[in-house]
């Protein structure tokens, strides 16, 4: 028997009215990655033959985000059944299984999807449903089942009778179909319901009327299938994913001193023996190698922290940054698009933007790299072993050579060659004290 093909259809065309947002619902991020990105990754992990994303009119940004996967336009958002029909109409589906995922159900675990696919193949059902038993079933379609474990209908909450509303077994938004007869059945969905929409859930009764079977599996944990229709559900999903991400990094050997105060992104990579103190926000594209220490209250995006680096407390790092092995960035420092070679050291209250700092180089407290002249931005280079004294301003573009020394309080506008010492400040002059100063000290002494 030849292997059946798998086509994944991701529904992302809905208006997302309840989000009250200009941003299409499926582009709202969860752990720094748009919901649709999470769903596409789950689909890809199944290794299907094709993934198709259904987008709505005016949602070019959704289509752009979905690339390189194919997109289909659902010209009018007439319901989930209509959306699947838009994706499949006119397609040759011979020997294909169709898995439908919702762009607003972002956390679907692989283990449940595999379970669904296995059940679909084993039972040879026409429709296989991923069911769940949520603590709060509000808003979900309820499954009407037989004693034999078959599903005879899914009833949307608005269309439920009071006893049906008490049913706890709900549809999660994931459903799988055998393609034989599918397009014909999708065309028979009607919109005679409370919302006058073409519901995908009607496929259960339509397939049943044709003599097909409909079976289900129950999700391991309904929280993984939380749908997002509004901002409070978005927060529930964020919370769930953060919990999972934290558990994973701790399992892999990192210490989070107070896990619930550390926010991670879906793509965060954290090595072993990393210590993260409380109140740390880790945005997208952050890689943290082994042995890194992140002190409290740091905000990181787009940075690689190499083995043994130490940062914080109160450090903000913006994208395009690379912090070398055992480099140190002390408290109250802001960094943007800069590189630090191994053992570089940045002291308190520095601003390091668009700069390359060499190995063992030292920026004293309060060093400012001034990268912008109001029109253009420039880069500066501080070479290995260079020393910049505290409260200096390096006006980019400048080069500070290997082992050069910049005296404290300098404003540096010209390159400093290797081993040179630069004084970018007025010399100190000491004069006999003034009458005023004497008067002042006399007064103070009296008080003392
Ligand atoms: C839907 C289900 C409900 C299920 C729940 C799971 C239906 C009729 N209801 O309800 O049984 O328990 O999800 O979370 O299917 N979409 C389109 N085109 C449309 C309409 C929707 O692509 O015309 C997409 C949306 O972008 C969304 C998904 O389909 O990703 C679900 O639509 P939504 O309106 O959120 O359905 P729910 O009311 O949550
Ligand atoms: Ca939904």
Q: Which whole number is the average pLDDT over 61-70?
A: 98
Q: Ligand 1: which residue has its CA nearest to atom 10? A: 140
Quick one: pLDDT band at residue 64, thresholds 50, 70, 90? very high
What span, in angstroms and rounded, lies between the C-alpha atoms of 43 and 58?
24
**Residue 236 Cα to ligand 1 middle (Å):** 18
> In the prediction, which pLDDT does 2 show?
64
Query: Residue 402 in contact with residue 384, Cβ under 8 Å?
Result: yes
Closest ligand 1 atom to 140 CA: 12
Q: What angle do CA 244, 249, 251 make, to 5 degrees?
A: 90
| Cβ contacts of 280 within 8 Å, gap of 6 or more | 261, 262, 263, 294, 296, 297, 298, 299, 300, 312
- pLDDT tens column, 299-314: 999 999 999 999 999 9
**Closest ligand, as measured to the CA of 35:** 1
Which residues' Cβ are closer than 6 Å to ligand 1?
11-14, 54, 74, 77-80, 82-83, 102-105, 140-141, 154, 156, 170-173, 199-201, 227, 229
Nearest CA to ligand 1 atom 28: 102
Active site residue 85: no
Digit-coded pLDDT (tens) for 117-154: 999 999 999 999 999 999 999 999 999 999 999 999 99
Q: Are the C-beta atoms of 389 and 406 separated by less than 8 Å?
A: yes
- Which residues have their alpha-adjacent CB atom under 5 A from ion ligand 2? 104, 227, 229
pLDDT digits (tens, 9 = 90+) for 246-287: 999 999 999 999 999 999 999 999 999 999 999 999 999 999
**Pick from 90, 58, 92, 61: which is nearest to 74 by CA?**
58
Closest ligand 1 atom to Cα of 105: 14
pLDDT of residue 437: 83
pLDDT in the model for residue 290? 98
Cα 142 to ligand 1 centroid, rounded to whole Å: 14
Q: Which atom of ligand 1 is nearest to the CA of 173?
A: 6
Task: Tell me which residue has its CA closest to atom 19 in ligand 1.
Answer: 79
Q: Looking at residues 187-195, what average pLDDT do you find?
A: 96
The alpha carbon torsion through 43, 48, 54, 59 (nearest 10 deg) reads: 60
Most informative mutation of 8, 14, 76, 86 for ligand 1 (most atoms within 8 A of CB): 14
Radius of gyration of the chain measured on its C-alpha atoms: 30
Cα-to-centroid distance, 227 and ligand 2 (Å): 5
Rounded Cα–Cα distance for residues 51 and 351 (Å): 45
Predicted TM-score of the model (pTM): 0.93
At residue 1, does pLDDT exceed 60? no
């Amino acid at each position: 028997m030849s292997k059946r093909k798998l086509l994944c259809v991701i529904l992302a065309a809905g208006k997302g009215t309840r989000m009250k947002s200009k941003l299409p619902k499926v582009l709202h991020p969860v752990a720094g990655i748009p919901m649709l990105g999470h769903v596409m990754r789950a689909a890809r992990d199944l290794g299907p033959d094709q993934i198709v994303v259904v987008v709505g009119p005016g949602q070019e940004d959704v289509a752009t985000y979905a690339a390189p996967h194919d997109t289909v336009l659902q010209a009018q958002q007439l319901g989930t059944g209509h959306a699947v029909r838009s994706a499949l109409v006119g397609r040759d589906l011979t020997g294909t299984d169709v898995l439908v995922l919702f762009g607003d159900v972002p956390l679907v675990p692989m283990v449940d999807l595999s379970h669904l696919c296995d059940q679909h193949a084993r039972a040879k059902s026409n429709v296989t449903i991923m069911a769940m038993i949520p603590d709060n079933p509000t808003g979900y379609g309820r499954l009407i089942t037989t004693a034999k474990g078959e599903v005879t209908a899914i009833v949307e909450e608005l269309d439920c009778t009071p006893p049906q509303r008490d049913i706890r077994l709900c549809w999660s938004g994931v459903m799988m179909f055998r393609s034989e007869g599918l397009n014909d059945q999708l065309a028979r969905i009607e919109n005679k319901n409370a919302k006058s929409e073409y519901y995908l859930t009607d496929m259960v009764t339509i397939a049943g009327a044709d003599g097909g079977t409909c079976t289900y599996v129950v999700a391991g944990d309904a929280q993984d299938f939380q749908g997002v229709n509004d901002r409070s559900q978005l927060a529930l999903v964020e919370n769930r994913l953060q919990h999972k991400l934290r558990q994973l990094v701790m399992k892999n050997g990192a210490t989070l001193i107070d896990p619930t105060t550390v926010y991670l992104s879906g793509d965060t990579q954290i090595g072993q023996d990393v210590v993260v103190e409380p109140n740390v926000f880790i945005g997208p594209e952050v890689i943290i190698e082994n042995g890194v220490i992140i002190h409290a209250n740091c905000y990181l995006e787009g940075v690689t922290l190499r083995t043994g680096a130490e940062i914080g407390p109160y450090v903000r790092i913006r994208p395009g940054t690379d912090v070398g092995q055992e480099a140190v960035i002390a408290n109250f420092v802001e960094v943007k698009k800069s590189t630090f070679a191994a053992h570089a050291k940045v002291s308190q209250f520095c601003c390091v933007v668009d700069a390359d700092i060499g190995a063992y180089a030292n920026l004293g407290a309060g060093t400012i790299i001034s990268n912008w002249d109001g029109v253009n931005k420039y880069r500066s280079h501080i070479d290995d072993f260079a020393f910049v004294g505290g409260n200096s301003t390096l006006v980019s573009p400048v080069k500070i050579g290997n082992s050069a020394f910049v005296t404290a309080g300098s404003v540096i506008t010209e390159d400093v060659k290797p081993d040179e010492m630069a004084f970018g400040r007025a010399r100190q002059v000491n004069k006999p004290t003034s009458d005023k100063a004497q008067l002042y000290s006399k007064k103070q002494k009296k008080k003392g």
